[in-house]
Each structure stands twice: as structure tokens, then as C-alpha cells.
Structure 1
Amino acid sequence: MKNLVDLIIKNCSLITSDFEIKENQSVVINEDIILAIDTPEIIEQTYYSKDTLDGKGKLLMPGLVDAHTHISQQFLRGRIADEYPMIWSRILVPFESSLNETDAFNSAQLCCLEMIKSGTTAFAESGGVHMHKVAEVVVQSGLRGAITCSTMDQGPFIPDSMKSSPLEAAEKIENLYKEFHGAGNGRIQIWFALRQVMTSTPALIELMARKAKEYKTGLHIHLSEHRDEVSYCLQNYQKRPAEVFDQYGALGPNLLAAHSVVLTESEIDLMKDRKVNIVHNPRSNFGSHGFPKTPRLMQHNMPIGMGTDGAAGSSLSLFDEMRVFRSGLNVFWGLPIFDPLVIPAKELLKMATVGGASALMLKDQIGTIEIGKKADLILLNIDQPHLSPTHKLISTIIECATSKDVEDSIIDGKIVMKNRQVLTLDEEKIMFESKQALKPIAEKAGI
């Protein structure tokens, strides 16, 4: 007698947990879990399903994890190109401070829509404004997300509306935690946050670190993103950024350290000892901050995720991030020493999947296609001239695949996008309202 299940993905190729390609497979999903993986013949003998997805000519991949993004900056697309530093203090933070609840809601809708259509199934939001409205949208969208509020309590260039005392910052996140942590069948996590060291007093750093441990959740920070940050720490603490955060108790296995570009060898050793999760943002970093010591971090077997850093400076495509990262690190670290393997294709794919899962503290649940893990999966149409035929499909995915090749998305066992049609959000309505909202938001922000 056959067993009834919720969904079967039939006759696909897939990326195994070892990041190898396996052909002629079917995958069984029941509720939110991957129940079985086998040949179509064996699966057909054992299971029948309420719903199916045809995987012929498609590659089943783990859903991509955008481990550092800025949902509140979705309406800044195209605005910061060709601008002089410091963009962050002159444009980004003042823009965020001008958003009202409706703006935040609309920004979140557009952002979630783009992430789903880009193959992203989970993300870590680094902290914006009106995050209760963001959380509402994420629950509706079907995405998996680690969400937090922006926390800053100092800085001459920070608008007063964006500053809060340590206790006020903690209360805001605690209220968000009580309302949304575990929402959407557990898809939503609420984290604590520190925007960056230059906008955080020691009291804020200590409190956010302590609260994250108390609530057994994550702490999301920008760390060693640029030289100004290093200079600030050396002048005010006589220490480098990672050492300052460690002094006040923030470095640990629940810490997501976004960017992590300008690190010394001693900081890398310290972060390894503290089991910190690294997240790189290739296009953002290459455009503004430099080249991270990723090969060195890989030698230390440190968990490395990848993020888009939001839509202000680029798209939300992790396929683009992987491709740019490969080229940039090959030029900077590989070419001078004739090392074409400075960052292998397989390692890049791991960063965008299992590395991001580790950064979200979900490595045991998502990031690879394995029986017993959550069904966060995407299907790529590989039966196209830019992807097939190929000698090495994973290398071709890194070099040639785009977000538009993602045809189907399953998150938490539910089909969220089918044949490029998003099922959880009204794309036509969101696009219309977003176009109407862009100019008024820009005028209000004075940009």
C-alpha cells in the first residue's frame, strides 16, 4: 500500500549533501520535511502525493540563503551608484529614518518578492525601522527569516529618530520577539542587533550581547566593514573592531559578523576561537571596502555565508554575488600567485547555502538536500543553451546561472513559486504600488 504525502518532485537532477550532481531522482516532501530521496521508480512504488512538481530538465538545489540584507533600503535602488563615501552616513541612515510604517510595509513586499524570484528561501535582515510591518510581510510571503531592529545610541550623523538608549533598544526587540518569534510555523526568528561599533556605546554592546544569550537567539552586526571603523576603534579603544566586540561579550557562536573585510590575522584567530559566523557581501565590499581574506578563513574551516547587502547598490541575486566573488577573489588572491583554485566553485555554492544556514543558526535544518531536513528547495531550468550541455554543472551554475533560471521554489514544504509565478504575493499589485511609492519616498527623504 502506498503512503500519501504532500508533495513529490519527480525526475530531477539534484545537488547532494556533498555538493555533487545526482541524476534521475525524485524527492518526497511531507509537511515541512524531506521524507525520501530515490529513483523515480522506487518513489512511485512507495508514495503518492497531493501535489507534484515535474523536475524534468531541472536541477534541484538547496534554497539560497541571503545572510545579510537590508529590507528597509529596497526603495534606494540605483541611488547610491557613483556617490562618494560615506554613503552610509549621508544617504542610507537618513533615508531609513524618513520611512513610515506604510513605506516599510511596501519595501518589505517588494524585497520579499525579489528574493523569492531570485531563488532565496531564507535571509537575515540586519535591522531597519518598523520591523513589525516587515515581519507581517515575511510571514505572508512564506520566506524564512531572521529579523531584527536597527540599534544605535551614538553618532553625530545619526538622526535622533534612529537613536535609542540601550534599554529602549532592548525593549523594542523584546516586544518584536514576543509578537513574532516562531511565527509562520517557526519560519521567523527575532534576533538582537548592533548596527556597527561606531554607533554603539559599550553599554549598548554589552546589553545586546547579553540579551541575545538570554533569549538563546542570534546577534547580527556589521563588523570590520571598512577602514574608518578600524580607525575609530584604534583611536577610542586602542583595539581593533573584533577585539572591541569581544571585550564587551559580543563574539560567540550566535554572532553573525557581516562583511568581515579588514581583519588582521589575530582577529581571524580570535573569531575562530569564538566560533563566529562570517558573512561576506561581495559586490558591496568590492565596490566600497576591498577584498576579504576569504582563503585564509577557509583554511581555518570557519563558517562563511554570503549576503547581498540589500538592493541599494545591487540586486538581491546570490547567483550574481557568487559569480562576482569568484572573479574578484581570483583577480586579487589567485592571479598574483597563479592559483586558479583560490575559491573553488563548490565552495561558493556552499557559502550561498549551507554557509548561510550556519549563519542563521539553522545548519541542522536547512542548507543541504537531506532526508529529515526542512524542505527549503529551488528548481533551476538547466535545459537551456547557456547551461547545457556542460562538463561540470556546478561550475556552470556559478559562472552562468541567473535568478531568472529559478522556476520553482519550495519553502518549509510549501510551493511558494511555480513556473516563475509567486503564489504567496500579488506581484502585479506590488509592482504597481512600488512604482507609485518611489518618488514620494525619495522626496520625503530629501534624496
Structure 2
Amino acid sequence: MRVARPSFPDELAPLVRRGAGPAHGLLAGGLRRSYGDSCINDGGALIEMIGLDRFILFDRATGLLEAEAGVSLADILKLAIPAGFFLPVTPGTKFATLGGAIANDVHGKNHHRAGTFGRWIRSLSLLRSDGSESVVDDDDTSGLFAATVGGLGLTGVITRATLQLVPIISSNMAVQTIPFGNLQEFFALSAESDSSHDYTVAWVDCLAKGDRLGRGIFTRARHVSDDDLRVKPRGGPSVPFDAPGFLLNRLSIAAFNEAYFRLAGRARQATVSYDPFFYPLDAIGGWNRLYGPRGFYQYQSVVPPAVAAEATAEMLRTIAAAGQGSFLAVLKTFGDIASPGLLSFPRQGTTLALDFANRGGPTLWLLDKLDAIVREAGGRLYPAKDGRLPPAMFRAGYPALDLFTTHLDPGMSSTFWRRMTS
């Protein structure tokens, strides 16, 4: 893969013309926090956008921010928080770029209130491989805005964007933690909390069975009003080497889940900084090395509300029976706010995200089983987090795919896209 690292906007157009020519085309990339192959272009060209990270305009009265696509969410927070603003939607890492957040139409813990990141983009500039550059806004009727938001970088290179930030009085969070004993209790807590709290999320013990199926720890939060507008990024330890693969087994994961449920699952309320609440893994450098040299598969699905309880229970039963549990199993309900992108992942329903240590055939067998449950439920998987999404599953889960392809830039491609369309 050929990689270019521009530092100035006028370098982009020549790079796009050169990179878009070969068979495997061109892709723009950011900080590469996607777990799958949607940010990879094997055999082709990649423009690394992180050198194009300048702020262009910030209206401190309205919170409207215009910036180059390579600026990170971390840098946006450094600018926005002291001025009394925050990201309207944020994923679980602040080490993602503005362009990447748009291309994946990321979601966060407040989907039931705010929807996806793309809903807060007021306009974006798109450089196409034919040399044309246009500005499309959220009122665009051509369909190009809808194709670009969540479009995995396949409609052109996003060069800059205008984002609407949201006002805050404090960067601290009032966080309430509530243990729940089974999946039914989760859904009751979620329904109650969505109407009273801005942010909700749950950790679930995916190895629990029987009456304890789906037990976990529910967290709900809102911004407080203590006038503390300090930026508080945390430092932390780094994992210095790959953990031996044998450490991650059914017994060790079950022991961890049991201990975590008992120790962290006490009902409590606390005021904490935004950083540990939104970005717990950012404090651990190289945390992925805990999964060993073979790495891991992330699996995130969403299933519709009518079948969410049944489908989620079946997924958890399948995982528990396979004995391939996950330390990081996150359960949340998405609200009914429509996502703006044709290929946006979130939809109303329940989303379950898990990390599985890569054990080869047995892990792929389990993921195939989960695929069958999700597809039967009429759900979909998240391309940004899945490196083995089957093409048929992708087509079934994204009914606007044919419309999206009419807006493809013929010079853009990725390993993911070729895998889906070969």
C-alpha cells in the first residue's frame, strides 16, 4: 500500500489524481481506529489526512466549528471545552479524526437523544478523483451528502467540515451505576433512563446463563453544572507486550466477569471527569495487546425493537454455550432518530458490541452463528468494527446499498469494499 502524508491543502488534488489511477484506487485515512478493513486499501494508495488538522473557524457564541478533516476529536475537545461546548456525539475513543467520524457516522452513549455524528454536520467539502471539489450541506438534495455520511470514504476525500457543537456548563459528569440481574431488567432500566438521562450504556456478562442471562452493570449520566470547564485528558499505563494467548480462556474470562460484576456493580453515584466516562480505554496504551499476538475480532450488531429481547437473549445464550466470552461486552438501545447516511449503522433497536480473542476456526464458527441470529432478526453489523462481515450479510443489512453505489467515486476503493463487491 502506497501512503502519502500531506501537510497542506494544496497538496491534496495532485495526490488524488495520482492515487486514483491504479486498479485498487485510493482511500483517505485518519487515525485508523476502525477495527475492520474499512480503513485499509491493500495494494492501492492511502492518503493519511492527520497532517491536515487546522481549525478554520470557531464561533464561540453559537458553537459552530469549521475544521480540516484530519483534526482529532481530542483536539476539538481542547478547543471546545474551555469555551463551554462539547462534542454532540462521541465514540468510545477521542483518537479519531473529524473526517473519520463522518465517514463512519459514529454514534455514542447518547444516541437516544442526539442520534449519530452525521446529524450535527452542517456542511462538508468533498474532493473527487476527477479533480472537482464541492461543498455539500445537510440540505443537499443530490444525495451526495447522505452517501458521504457513513459512506466509508468511498465518495471522495472529505477535506473539511462544519460541525455544530453543543453547549455545556461543566465538563464533569454526574454518573449513576446500577447493577441489573438479567436481560429483562436491562430493558426496563434502559426504557426508564432514556427519558431522564443524556447518556446510557451497559456492560453485560456474556457468560452468565439461566436466570442470570444478560446480567450486568448499567451506567447513566448527564453533564453537571459546577462551572468546571477544564480539559482533563488522562495518561496511563501501556501494555508492553502481547499477552500469551492461553491467558484468555473460558475460566479466566468467567472469573473476571464474576469479579467485575461484584466489585464494580455496586449501586452508586459519583461526579467524574468526562474523560474516564467517555474514553476509558484511551488511558491504556496498546490495550489490544491483551488479546495476544493473534489479536481479536470486534462484533457489533443492532436488531430491531420488536425482536430485540429475543434476539439478544439468543446471542448471549450462543456465546455462553460456546465459552468464548468477552471482557468488553457493551449493550445499549438506539433511539428512533433517523441517521442521515445511506450506509449509517445505527437504527432503532438494541446494539451489542463484543471483543472475541481470535482462536481461528472456533471463533469464526461462533461469529457465523451470531450472524444467523442477527440476519433472522432483520438486523445489521457495523462495517467499521468488523473485519469478516460476509458480503451477503452486508447487502441484507443495508437496503440503501444500490442507491449508495450511484454516488461512488470510481477512483476510491478499500479492502473492505472490494471484499463486499468481489
State the TM-score, normalized to the length of structure 1.
0.26
State the TM-score, normalized to the length of structure 2.
0.27
Indicate the structure with greater helix content: 1
